[in-house]
Amino acid sequence: MKTRITELFGIRYPIIQGGMMWVGRAELAAAVSNAGGLGILTALTQPTPEALAEEIARCRAMTDAPFGVNLTILPSINPPPYEEYAQAIVDSGVKIVETAGRSPEPFMPLFKANGFKVIHKCTSVRHAIKAEKVGCDAVSVDGFECAGHPGEDDVTNLVLLPAAYAKLSIPMVASGGIGTGSQLAAALALGAEGVNMGSRFVATQEAPVHQNMKQAMVDADERQTTLMFRSLKNTCRVFNNPVAAEVISIEAQPGETDFADLQPLVAGTRGRERCIEAGDIDDGIWTVGMVMGLIHDIPTCEALIEGMVAEAREIISQRLQAMIQG
């Protein structure tokens, strides 16, 4: 499948594995890249820039295909050394970076001086336009269906994608709620030139998460996510479990929400240790999208990607053509 995204990143299929905290490791990124997509390591999953350099080297030993690194830039009381992580990415020889969170503008001179292709993930048309303006090569437009942070506009991809397409010149990738070949075909019809998937790649054999989490995604339907942090204007879509319910209950209390009351419940280390690693899906917060309702198996990354591409091709070349001819 040939699009501006496949040409930009040198990949066979326009399918990108999104950067995911604790999940975007070498095993998964290499499997996606070897299957013809674009695997992404998550920089801040690694405790130090030096550890990130080691993870990049580990991924390179697993694949000869292109892969990238995600750098998510978020406001924080004690921010990580973003500049050092960015420099580690540059020094590693990787040439593709996915940015998210705040604008990548402060890092663009470094990336561009070193020949990088930059794709920025955003949740609104206005942020996509800004990403193009500051020199990004592509944008990943994240609809309200997505796992993690969907922004505060609550616009689904059926509207968000064509709205962004109408204003952009650089290629756009559809992100959020995607996990099937029919959705790949739909995204292309709406103006995207590829798709970005997070949750769907978690439910694969190579994803470095506990089998209980993968099975929970198969067993769940599209209604089993919930939104927390709405009172903080930092909305986050997560698996609907007792911990998430407690967070939402605290937020619903009169007065301004004190994050200190939420912190023990939502701590990333708790979600990683108890849910992702230990497999207790109800004892921490973990992000997942509404695409759970479309996940019915736990395939290899290769089987997933090949199946999606075959389905998309069949829809584009046969079903839609038959409708036109009819």
The pLDDT tens digits for 146-177 are: 999 999 999 999 999 999 999 999 999 999 99
Domain layout of the chain by residue ranges: 4-209, 211-290
Q: pLDDT tens, 7-28?
A: 999 999 999 999 999 999 999 9
**275-281 own/partner pairs: CB under 8 Å, 24+ apart:** 275/210, 275/213, 276/22, 276/23, 276/209, 276/210, 276/213, 277/209, 277/210, 278/210, 279/210, 279/211, 279/212, 279/213, 280/212, 281/212, 281/213, 281/216, 281/239, 281/241
pLDDT at 320 over 80: no
**pTM of the complete model:** 0.96
pLDDT category at 75 given cuts 50, 70, 90 is confident
Cα 161 to Cα 156: distance, rounded to the nearest angstrom: 8
CB neighbour burial string for 282-307, b if at least 16 within 10 angstroms, e if fewer? eebbbbbbbbbbbbeebbebbebbbe
pLDDT (average), residues 125-148: 98
CA atoms lying within 13 Å on the CB side of residue 162: 5
Amino acid letter for position 26: A
Query: Do the Cβ atoms of 172 and 164 come closer than 8 Å?
Result: yes
Q: Which pairing describes strands 195-197 and 138-142: parallel, antiparallel, or unpaired? A: unpaired
Query: Looking at domain 4-209, which of 3.20.20.70, 1.10.357.10, 3.40.50.261, 3.40.190.10 is its CATH number?
Result: 3.20.20.70
